[in-house]
Chain A
Amino acid sequence: DVKVTQSSRYLVKRTGEKVFLECVQDMDHENMFWYRQDPGLGLRLIYFSYDVKMKEKGDIPEGYSVSREKKERFSLILESASTNQTSMYLCASGGGSGTEAFFGQGTRLTVV
């Protein structure tokens, strides 16, 4: 089974902290994605990457950056966490001969 693993299920951080959310996939997928999900707003794409060291902005990249140093790992970085970044963060990967994306279990981040 394809596995996409996010480093934390729940996270509480203080305003102004630098926050790292890690995502690892075990299927050698080229493509990886970061979303946030908020009630009433659905899933919104923050960043995606189609290759190592390659990244593209999604619909809401402001306040975030990403890192893809290795194929299996895609990190989301909140440079200076703010309360409006409290959300559920979901990582996904996909590629190869398949056409579906596989999601992690999500990280519920609370910024206080």
Chain B
Amino acid sequence: LAKTTQPISMDSYEGQEVNITCSHNNIATNDYITWYQQFPSQGPRFIIQGYKTKVTNEVASLFIPADRKSSTLSLPRVSLSDTAVYYCLVGDTLWQGGKLIFGQGTELSVKP
């Protein structure tokens, strides 16, 4: 699985847009990019997944440039409840005996 690099921590204020970038220079052709969110004392929760260009759902947007060596998770108008750790994962199908490997994640702190 491709190694990922994210900032360790980020600070933001309520109402701002937050962009968290993940680097994955050795991403393979079959790899997808997946983001999870984890609140304290809870298990991670799937946010969004993409392969290329842009994906948007009710929670976030995921921007992936043409070379796919990085990706950016965008959280619009964050609130205090978005304070969490965000993990970027890169890999092909998880369901062929593949591992689900988490990196260190980005600890996002949203302030009033």
Q: Which residues of A approach B to under 8 Å, CB–CB?
A: 4, 30-31, 33, 35, 42-43, 45, 48, 50, 56, 58-59, 88, 90-92, 94-96, 99-106, 108
Contacts and interface: CB of A to CB of B under 8 A. Distances in A.
Contacts of A31: 94-95
A92 B46 CA distance: 11
Contacts of A43: 44, 87, 102
User: How would you classify the secondary structure of chain B's contact residues: helix, strand, loop or mixed?
Assistant: loop
Interface residues of B, number: 22
B64 to A, nearest CB: 15
A94 B102 contact: no
A56 B95 CA distance: 13
Contact of A99 (B34, B45, B103, B105): B34
Centre residue among B42, B49, B94, B103 by max chain A CB count within 10 A? B94
Interface of B: 32, 34, 41-46, 49, 87, 93-97, 99-105
A90 B97 CA distance: 19
Given A42-B103, A99-B34, A92 B95 contact: no
A39 to B, nearest CB: 11
Nearest to B49: A99
